[in-house]
Amino acid sequence: MINQIDLKFDARGLIPAIVQDEETKDILMVAWMNAESFQLTQKTGQAHFWSRSRNELWLKGATSGNFMNIRRILVDCDADTLLILVKPAGPACHTGKQSCFYQDIEIGK
Amino acid sequence: MINQIDLKFDARGLIPAIVQDEETKDILMVAWMNAESFQLTQKTGQAHFWSRSRNELWLKGATSGNFMNIRRILVDCDADTLLILVKPAGPACHTGKQSCFYQDIEIGK
């Protein structure tokens, strides 16, 4: 268990965070965190992200009610990607689907 | 099932690819693809990436033997992240661990 870690934020000051349902192990979404949103997530246990399109801090669920309650936060071997395990309060995707990953791409073409 | 899709590569020409074990649903690693590595992956059914540190195309398993045999490729709602489901031939991580995500970060601090 790591308390302080030197996360490797990219040139924009961001790190990708994969959101996985702790129970089903489905991948729900991927979003980005800056240092502030990571610290808020770690402190509050609610997923906070940085919106690259709106250039603003974003509490997942603030408008939809579909909060992502954090159960675990993991970091990969080179500390440049986060994996957060959550108990979702509702669908992750803005389309209303449980997961943002609902489109299959054909293989072998 | 999508055959052709306009993937949204970032300003560097890259898209992140999350690698998930199809059977256990564990997240194994995250790496990056450029258009060429995506096309090779789609065509061959073997995960190819772009190494940002070495600036070169990289066939996962070429040196280690730990190939990632592709079972499915999914893309998220805004087409800027890939999720590839694989049957791994061996550990994903260069440390020898099954997954690159083996470090927990403390919550509530």
| pLDDT tens-digit series, residues A54-93 | 999 999 999 999 999 999 999 999 999 999 999 999 999 9
**Cα-to-chain-centroid distance, residue B74:** 11
Q: Where are the domains of chain B?
A: 15-88
Nearest CA in chain B to A1: B104
The band of B21, judged by pLDDT with boundaries at 50, 70 and 90, is: very high
- Separation of alpha carbons A102 and A91, rounded Å: 12
Q: Is A25 exposed, middle or buried (0-12, 13-18, 19+ CB in 10 A)?
A: middle
Distance from CA of A1 to the nearest CA of B (A): 5
DSSP state of B33: E
The band of A108, judged by pLDDT with boundaries at 50, 70 and 90, is: confident
What digits encode the pLDDT tens for the residues A11-39?
A: 999 999 999 999 999 999 999 999 999 99
Q: Which homologous superfamily is B15-88 in?
A: Phosphoribosyl-AMP cyclohydrolase (3.10.20.810)
Q: Is A69 exposed, middle or buried (0-12, 13-18, 19+ CB in 10 A)?
A: middle
Task: Write out chain A residues lying below 8 Å of B1, CB-based.
Answer: 104-106
Q: What is the mean pLDDT of chain B?
A: 94
pLDDT at B3: 63
Three-class SS state of B78: coil
Three-class SS state of B38: helix
- Separation of alpha carbons A7 and A15, rounded Å: 8
Residue B5 has pLDDT above 90, yes or no: no
Query: pTM for the full model?
Result: 0.94
Of B74, B78, B100, the CB nearest to A105: B74
Of B45, B75, B108, the CB nearest to A103: B75
Amino acid identity of residue A17, one-letter, is A
Dig out the tokens for B12 from the structure. Answer: 């560097």
B10 annotated ligand-binding residue: no
Q: Any chain B CB within 8 A of the CB of A57?
A: no
Residue with tokens 């957060």: A84
Residue B48 has pLDDT above 80, yes or no: yes
B104–A73: do the CB atoms touch at under 8 Å?
Answer: yes
Which residue in A38, A26, A22, A4 sits closest to A71, CA to CA?
A22
**Cα-to-chain-centroid distance, residue B13:** 15
